Amino acid sequence: MIRSFILPVERVTTSAALVAAEACLTIACGAGLWQVISRFVLADPAIWSEALVRLSLIWMAMLGFSPAIRRGALMAIDLAAGLAKGTAKKLLDGVIAISILTLCGLLGFYGISMVGRVARQEMAGLEISIAWGYAAIPVGCALAAVAALAAFLDPERAPSIPAGAQSPASSTATEIL
């Protein structure tokens, strides 16, 4: 029952998080480019672009956490999981899921607390509440928790990794070793 609910929800949330993270990276690149042009070509630096780059990168990192979990792109976890077999792998998968859920719970709890604490402060340059930046923490953690549950319930599905292939993290780890 929980599996039939979590997996479709995770597919939608992880896909949306990935698209949003990509959009945040695009926004950060565009704002950074504008900062360089306005500062060095026009000699009139934009006061908003640096803050927008920072805000976009924070959101990108937190939104990118759930696709990374679901695709097995966390290097240390992927390396250990690749070495485990049978019961040890199932136990390791459970420990990984509990660890990620614990991390997400703690970060989410304190992230919500910080959003409330900084709600009246404004972000210099953008003139919006700095809480918009801190809101990335609980949002990213909620999406990552859904992805961690889905990865535990359906460990075989990894959208970007074809069957029998290694993930980018394990390929990199193998090259390093």
Distances, alpha carbon 94 to alpha carbons 116, 145, 149, in Å = 33, 13, 10
The total domain count for the chain is 1
Tokens, residue 29: 């690149």
Checking if the pLDDT of 5 tops 60, the result is yes
Structural domain includes residue 69 = yes
Q: Give the global pTM.
A: 0.81
Structural domain includes residue 161 = no
Structural domain includes residue 172 = no
User: Can you give the pLDDT at residue 162?
Assistant: 39
Q: Which residue has the higher pLDDT, 84 or 109?
A: 109
- Residue 17's domain spans which residues? 2-156
Report whether 39 contacts 114 (CB < 8 A).
Answer: no
Average model confidence (pLDDT) across the chain: 86
Structural domain includes residue 174 = no
User: Can you give the pLDDT at residue 4?
Assistant: 85
| pLDDT tier at 159, thresholds 50, 70, 90 | very low
